Every structure is written in C-alpha cells, then in structure tokens.
Chains A and B, each alone.
Chain A
Amino acid sequence: MSDTPRTTYLPEGLPIPVPENDGLSAPYWAGLQQDRLLVQRCPRCTTWQFGPEWLCHHCHSFDIEWTEVEPRGRIFSWERVWSPSHDALRRHGPYLAVLIELPHAGHVRMVGNLLGDPLQTVTIGADVEGVFEHHRDSTPSYSLLHWQTTG
C-alpha cells in the first residue's frame, strides 16, 4: 500500500458514493475511509461475495460477514476513457479505469482507476496494489480505492 496521494485522480464534482437507504454497503464505504478494504465472506460456506448482498449467494445464509482483505490483485480488464460523460470531466485528459480481480478473496472484482500516466501500456494480468483516496472535505466525506502496478 502507498501513501495517500496529494491530489485526487479525477477532478472533484463526480457523483459521491453513499450507502443505500437500507445500509447494505455501509461497512464497505466506512472501511475505505479507514484505509481498510472489506469484502463479504460467508462464515458457513466460506464463499466470498462482492458487491454486497443480504445473503450468501451460495448457501443462502443471512449471517454473512465483512472481512478485511489486503488491497492487492491483478488487472482483469481496463479501458482508457477519452470522451467526457460528465461536466466535471470536461477538458480533463484521458483517464484509465481498471477492473481488478482479487485472487485471495474468491476472485471478486472491483472497478477503480489505474494511477500513473494515463497513456501507459496496460497489461491484463499485471499485479496491482490498492491506494486509498480520501475526500475528507467533501460533503458527505468519502473514500475511493485506486490501483497502481507493482514490480
């Protein structure tokens, strides 16, 4: 893991993530604010699950638990975005979004941005580590999880 970057990867003004009204994902978003990555795991059948749901999709236990996992994984897919789809991204150059799989957490996948040169060559299968990005001055405050290649 790395230190918190000094600036955010994308400009401010994009939609702010918050838990649903029923609170399903609240532990995940709270975890990011504390530099912790939490993923659901079923204590009964050990199935990993992300995004969260109220029950285990494998054994239907409702006693599914949030488990802290190391924020590392590998690139499963990627895209370089050129055309802005939001006012906050106008005049912002291309940026990289990546889909990361976490082999040590049941191969669940999550989307983030790939830090570094937006024109870098991206390799599917490359190892990455997570970098937490905090938006503490935002209302409400929130944190994101980005990725950067290792080695």
Chain B
Amino acid sequence: MTARAPGERTLRGRVAVIGIGETEYYRHGASPDPEFKLALKAILAACDDAGLDPRDIDGFSSYSDDRSEAGRLAAALGTRRLSTAVMQWGGGGGGCCAAVANAAASIVAGLADCVVVFRSLAQGQYGRFGQAGGIGTISGERAYLMPYGVLAPPQRFAMRVRRYMHEHGVRQEAMQAIALASYHHAQSNPRAVMFGKPLDPEKYNASRWIAEPFHLFDCCMENDGAAAIILVPEERAGDFRNKPAYILGAATGAGYRSGAMPHNSPQYASASFEMLAPALYRMAGISPADVNVVQSYENFTGGVVMALVEHGFFKPEEANGFLTLDNLIAPSGKLPLNTSGGNLAECYMHGFELVIEAVRQIRGQSVNQVKRNDVAMVIGGPMVTPASNLLLGSGATL
C-alpha cells in the first residue's frame, strides 16, 4: 500500500461509502412495487443505514439508462439542493462500478457532498432482458445479429466465451465452479432469491443448455428490486452509524476499439479489463495479492473467468486448476468470490448487489464473512464496453 502523492489525481481514500440499502429481491415480475417505488425504498434504506436525512442527498448517479430519473427522485425525496446527476453510458452491468466512480469524482471535484448511487430494475414491469419480442425492423448493431437468432444476452456472449475456451483450453468445469460458489454462498443468505435451492455438479451438468457453452446455471437470473449506496467525502466519513468503506481505486472504459461491432473488437476473447485492471491497481497502490475478496459480475460464468484472469489472479492457462469450489468460497478460500450469491443466486440487481456486498465485507457484516477483509474488489459487467471496476478498503488501508 502506498500513500498518495500531493496533487495526485486520484479517488484513493477521498470518498467513503457510509450507507447501503436494498429492497427485498424478487423473481422477475414478482415485485409488488413498481420500479420507481423500489428505487425510493432502496435509497431510504441506505439513508436509514447511515443515519442520514434523505433530504441531505445532493446528487444521484446510476448506469444502464436507469429509468428512475434524478430530477424525479430529487423532487420525490424533497432533496434540498440537487448538485449532480450522473449517468454512465452503456447497457448491461458494465457501469455498476463506474456509477460509483462518477459519483466519487463529483465529490472529489467539489460538485457535490452526498451522492446516492443506485440501480432500480423491475423486469416484470418493463420486460425481460432474456426475451426479444415486439420488434418489427431493426438497424444498427442488432441488425447484424438478431435475424440470425442472436437476440438475447446469452447468445450475444456465448461465442466470445467459446473463443476464449478455445484459445486457452478452459474447460466447462472452470465455469461450473463459479456457479457452484455463487450458489454455495446464497445458501447462507436469506436475502438471496436462490436461498434454499442448492446447486451441485450433477444438477449443473443435467441442466439444460441455454446456448452452448452456457448451461442454465451459467446464466444470471432476471429479477426485480433496487439497491443503493451513499457516498460522502472522507472528512465526513466518521459522522455516520457504520464503519466507512473507502474507495481505494476505480477504473472505467475499455481498450482499443473494444466496442467495434458486430463482434469486431480486436481483443475479442476478452472481458474488456486489460487496460482497466492495471489502472485500478495503480490508483489503489496495491497488487492482486492484496485483494481479500472479489465480487465479479456474472452475466455469464465465462465472463468471470476472463475478468479474474485480466485482474491478475491467475493466468488463463491456470484457470482449470484455480477455479475450484474450495478456492472460491468464504471464509478462507484462496479467492472468495461472489460471497452473497451474486447475479447467479442472490439477485440480478444488475451488479449493484455486488457493490453492497463488498461494503458488507469491509464492515464485517457479510453472511459469508471472509477472515481478511481490508480490501474488497468489485468487477463490473465483463465483455461489454464500457466496463468498470472498483476497490474498496477499510480505514486501515489508508
């Protein structure tokens, strides 16, 4: 760990997460509340967790074109002053860490003092990501894909993962281990949609193919819910109820022509973190060996394999050996992964449940608490452009 140099442009240690909140998590279509109400509930829960008057929030940050718009939220909550309203471009969960970084940057730059970062998603109300209906004609990127039956996310990402498996000899068992770890952790998490529904290798292997190489259990769920965190400048971090989790680093974006469509990015068999991971470690002043626990966005398990490789935890050729259930589970696996159950088994809150779980780990409040918990990583949606990642740390890391 290194102290920051004077004048250095960084987020390291300058912003703290002081509140986390979420709604109950539902299967898609099962939420009794509409999406906007879910957002309000999660934000109020985060304020309650912090011991903060919701009217003191002065900024909103989200991603993936969240429909719960900042101006309406500010009016609904009686926000006294709206200072920042930030939206990260890009669909999918690639922005779940970028939304935190953008909010933190607003605070460091003096634009805002208390920013809520959130995601609200009711796939029952607005349609499932996994189904493409009601489209007559199509243009742009999807015109090169949809007429060939490449319609929904599993079909859009399976070829990328297949190519990666081909290039590096990654086996199905490596992806299976990621699914098993998420389900293992969800069995101790009463919030998890898959609580009480354990997974074993036999059930994984017997599950239907969605799109080879993805079995059903390689694919994220589709859910309804909302989740929120509250950020303040480090000077105020001690004014609230809970132990603060500090931002150690963040990076957003992707490499050269990563967004070249359709499927024309030069680094095709990649999760888009080749440039972001070194930037993240550089800002945080740490190396992969310093990371105690990882929440890595599972749109599909294959994306997690790539993302962990690109963040330096093992080489691609080591994936089959490293990715075993024992290595990936709390409290003392080599690299405890997705300790709340993640997108596969807790809730597909578009990755924001992963950010919340990282904060819980730093606080020592996870239902699958790791033993060493000073540094927690979140990796946002892999294989998309732009992507993003985040490192959180305890006060001891500053």
Contacts and interface: CB of A to CB of B under 8 A. Distances in A.
B155 A97 contact: yes
A81 B159 contact: no
A78 B159 contact: yes
Nearest to B129: A85
Interface in A8-31: 10, 14-21, 25, 29
Nearest to B257: A57
B139 to A, nearest CB: 4
Given A82-B211, A86-B131, A140 B162 contact: no
B132 interface: yes
Nearest to B214: A79
Nearest to A135: B147
A108 B55 CA distance: 53
Interface in A74-105: 76-83, 85-87, 89, 94-95, 97-99
B264 A15 contact: no
Contacts of B263: 99, 109-111
A81 B155 contact: yes
A51 interface: yes
B148 A86 contact: no
Contact of A15 (B131, B136, B154): B136
Q: Give the interface size bracket for B toward A.
A: 35 or more
Interface string A124-142: 1000000000000000101
A50 B151 contact: no
A50 B210 contact: no
B208 A86 contact: no
Contacts of B159: 77-79, 97-99, 111
Q: Which of B139, B151, B163, B260 has the most CB of A within 10 A?
A: B139
Nearest to A85: B152
Interface string A34-68: 00000000000000001100000100000000000
Contacts of A76: 163, 268
Contacts of A97: 148-150, 155, 159
Contacts, number: 137
Given A17-B137, A80-B209, A111 B162 contact: no
A33 B209 CA distance: 34
A113 B149 contact: yes
Interface in B111-157: 130-133, 135-152, 154-155
Contact of B162 (A15, A57, A77, A94): A77
A10 B148 contact: yes
A86 B128 CA distance: 11
B4 interface: no
A140 B147 CA distance: 13
Contact of B158 (A57, A79, A95): A79
A74 to B, nearest CB: 13
Contact of B147 (A16, A78, A79, A98): A16
Nearest to A29: B143
A123 B133 CA distance: 32
Contacts of A146: 148
A79 B145 CA distance: 13
B293 to A, nearest CB: 32
Contacts of A85: 130-132, 149, 151-152, 154-155
A51 B135 contact: no
B262 interface: yes
10 contacts: A14-B146, A14-B151, A16-B136, A51-B141, A51-B264, A77-B163, A86-B133, A111-B145, A111-B159, A124-B163
Interface of A: 10, 14-21, 25, 29, 50-51, 57, 76-83, 85-87, 89, 94-95, 97-99, 108-113, 124, 140, 142, 144, 146
Given A15-B132, A85-B131, 18 more contacts: A10-B149, A14-B147, A14-B151, A15-B135, A15-B136, A79-B213, A81-B149, A81-B158, A82-B211, A83-B210, A85-B149, A85-B155, A86-B149, A89-B149, A95-B149, A97-B159, A111-B144, A146-B148
